[in-house]
Amino acid sequence: MKKLFVVLITFAVLAGGAYLLSPDYLKTALEYRTPDIDDYKIFENRTIKAGNYIPWGKANDYNKKEFSNETLNRLEEYDPVAFLIIQDKKIKYERYWESYNENSLSNSFSMAKSIISLLIGIAVDEGKIQSLDQKVGDFIPEYKNPPNDVLTIRNLLSMSSGLDWDEAYSSPFSVTTKAYYGDDLFSLIKDLKVVEKPGVKWKYLSGNTQVLAFILKNATGMNVSDYASEKLWKPLGAKNDALWCLDKKDGMEKAYCCFNSNARDFARIGQMILDKGKFDDVEIISKKYIDQAIKPVTELVTDRGQIVDFYGLQFWILQHKGYKIPFARGILGQYIFVIPEKNAVVVRLGHKRSDKRSFHAEIPDDVYLIVDAAMEILD
């Protein structure tokens, strides 16, 4: 017993010492363990200010239809906090869980990638970026030299950069974990190297989006949140200010994730996609860019040799039951679906998504569940 006690004490001392010597990001990761939809409370943030509010109308049959009991039970297995359906520019259905409501902030996670794509498109429309084929090195000096000098903005948008970013969510030592919990995003970005020929293989890397954010900042001379406020959030008539989590106080936006808003305001992004770049008949982004963003990059292949018919320029694309549905997606089941055939937008926010991918290797099963559930209300 005495020997066991000595061993336990020794282990505790060593573990405590290792913790004290760990980098700050690792201590934070160990403290909070896994990402959460309320993580804006633990990070520094920058406000994306809203402007003149453009309210959603309500459909005549608002909340008159409900999911079947079977569907609702299946939806609730993934701990939703919001489910919203917009049809013909009016709220047809909405439901909230826990203490969340139409004004509650919730993390977008990787839906933010689609927002960055839209901001890149606006910067191209404005001439601040010459084209999607402009070299990254024109905006980030560290990318001017080989092997990174061949990298283009399009390569980043289409997830075909060939950069050596480690997209590992479970490892506390991966660059993705350092990016989420760390305090110096540029130090992670500037040392990335192109290790595979860009424009050939599709590989989902959050680092691609973070590089795009630094391009935006340097191209526009504005921080990403202020540009998003002026060019996107205010023109969309958002009701509430949004928050973008930063790597440190007055720092850089975690652009690959961490745009915090609510279901009704997220739906405005989907409505703009549905209306080919317009909201309330005002053009925010060109139809040309929207068409490119939601077109599959079928010139690319995955590691398994599969043609990429499921991804565009930081937008996912679902082909299901004859529908072609562009959507934005986050790791804990954050979704904005655009269903042109139904003139509808669907937003789902919550704590979990499915770990299974039985229909398509890159699309989790809950995507099909959520879309089919929405169809119960829309049909």
Q: What percent of the chain has pLDDT over 90?
A: 88
With H, G, I as helix, E, B as strand and everything else as coil, classify residue 324. Answer: strand
**For residue 25, what pLDDT is reported?**
52
* CA dist., res. 106 & res. 37, Å (int): 5
Nearest residue to 88 (alpha-carbon basis) of 132, 55, 57: 57
Number of neighbouring beta carbons within 10 Å of residue 143? 24
Read off the pLDDT band of 106 (50, 70, 90): very high
**For residue 361, what pLDDT is reported?**
80
DSSP 186-199: HHHHHT--B-S-TT
* For residue 376, pLDDT beyond 80: yes
Read off the pLDDT band of 30 (50, 70, 90): low
Domain 39-378 has CATH 3.40.710.10: yes
The beta strand positions in the chain, using DSSP E, are 45-48, 57-58, 80-87, 90-96, 106-107, 242-245, 259-261, 278-279, 282-283, 316-320, 323-330, 334-339, 344-350
* CA dist., res. 344 & res. 378, Å (int): 8
With H, G, I as helix, E, B as strand and everything else as coil, classify residue 64. Answer: coil
For range 83-98, the mean pLDDT? 98
For range 50-61, the mean pLDDT? 98
pLDDT digit string, tens, across residues 313-334: 999 999 999 999 999 999 999 9
Nearest residue to 229 (alpha-carbon basis) of 259, 192, 188, 256: 259
C-alpha distances in Å from residue 46, one per residue of 24, 193, 247: 21, 29, 10
Radius of gyration of the chain (CA): 21
Q: Which helix (H) or strand (E) holds 123?
A: helix 111-125
Q: Where are the domains of the chain?
A: 39-378
Q: Is 322 left (phi over 0), alpha (psi -120 to 50) or beta?
A: left
pLDDT digit string, tens, across residues 127-169: 999 999 999 999 999 999 999 999 999 999 999 999 999 997 6
**For residue 2, what pLDDT is reported?**
45
* CA dist., res. 235 & res. 232, Å (int): 5
Q: Is residue 135 within 8 Å of residue 149, measured between CB atoms?
A: yes
* For residue 13, pLDDT beyond 60: no
Q: What is the mean pLDDT of the chain?
A: 92
The most confident of 45-54, 166-175, 352-361, by mean pLDDT: 45-54
**For residue 24, what pLDDT is reported?**
62
